Structure 1
């Protein structure tokens, strides 16, 4: 996908009202493997800097792995309940629980769950939906700010299925 067709929306939970900035450069991980969902991470350079304020704030990134198993985390996205369906106009979020790698390795084949990934169990039947890929997996850090620990990668079934959601851990990159 060329960077010139990518827009980044920001400043609103309503994607019809947010500001947009185009991407000038996109760096996809050199070892990205779509078939095995490995190294599912990319960086975007935007055409102009964001202006931080009340509605736009930076998020802290997890720089080194930390113990997070069994902690609650928040995911967010504009995905759809249905494969191929239109996404939501209002950003949706829900709380998930971080699972140990052993659970995910048992539920997914070794080809689709490997080092550098993190899976999360759904709470109250809510989880990642189709189209949420690229969204944040966040926990609150010690000072109450959100810290991004992952990027939504894939889900085996549509929202609220039996399989855990899978995210790329940002600390591995």
Structure 2
């Protein structure tokens, strides 16, 4: 059994047309992942101090993507609540409830380690953030970074999304979830194709649109990766942002932040020594 990595944290005391995907905290109808399949995938809980009259507990939050030994990419809207004090990050996990799972490590850091895009707003424009880790993550079979996209390269239009969000919504609209990582393959729509779904009011070049299907990212998948395979590498094209109905249905496209639009921002805010080139 592999030891867990826990870093410094003493716990304190004792729509307008679309919906963010982390209010409930899965890939609807997705496939169950296996160990080592998505080594770049992370998840984090948050410690929110909004109500100090209630017991302070870790709350499920969002996914993210490891892109170097010190940097995780995620969604800005996961940190829109001002009283988040700390985050607990799961690396190398498939069953995040199993603390003794082989390959799983955990790391807790303070909110000050998070950098939210300075022009993020409630319309989910610039919905991107990064988490700067205080120590290097040790790479192995279970934990490896994804590659950032490169300008000028034409990537495949089929991509994999993964996450620990809601995995089923019943007929009476009750969500179902478990602690297992799920994934599915999606078709990326062109800008013109996405406009046909009448979501153009929110569609800009810095966003990616996924074709509706029987599968969909759902609440709790926010911040997670949209990955394509290119020359043997896992390339991070998008960060899970939002869905239009908030009901995780197949009626409308789901929208991701386009990572290629933020490469300069990522390099500027990660720090020169924190990205593996």
| Range into which the TM-score falls when normalised by the shorter chain | 0.7 to 0.9
Secondary structure at the counterpart of residue 5 of structure 1 = strand
Tell me the TM-score normalised to structure 1 length.
Answer: 0.86
Secondary structure at the counterpart of residue 30 of structure 1 = coil
Task: Tell me if the contact between 2:225 and 2:236 (Cα under 8 Å) persists in the aligned partners.
Answer: yes
Which ranges of structure 2 fall in alignment gaps of 5 or more residues? 1-78, 99-103, 263-277
> How far did residue 111 of structure 1 move?
4.0
Secondary structure at the counterpart of residue 107 of structure 1 = coil
> How far did residue 20 of structure 1 move?
1.4
Label 1:64 to 1:41 Cα distance change in 2 as closer, same or farther (>3 A): same
Task: Tell me if the contact between 2:237 and 2:259 (Cα under 8 Å) persists in the aligned partners.
Answer: yes
1:5 aligns with 2:92: no
Select 2:219's aligned residue among 130, 141, 144.
Answer: 130
1:105 aligns with 2:195: yes
Tell me the TM-score normalised to structure 2 length.
Answer: 0.56
Equivalenced residues, count = 169
RMSD: 2.2
Task: Tell me if the contact between 2:96 and 2:179 (Cα under 8 Å) persists in the aligned partners.
Answer: yes
* Mapping of residues 5-154 of structure 1, within 5 Å: 5-17=86-98, 18-24=104-110, 25-34=113-122, 36-64=123-151, 66-68=153-155, 71-80=157-166, 81-82=168-169, 85=175, 87-123=177-213, 125-142=214-231, 144-154=232-242
Give the whole-Å Cα distance in 2 for the aligned partners of 1:162 and 1:29. 30
> How far did residue 8 of structure 1 move?
1.4
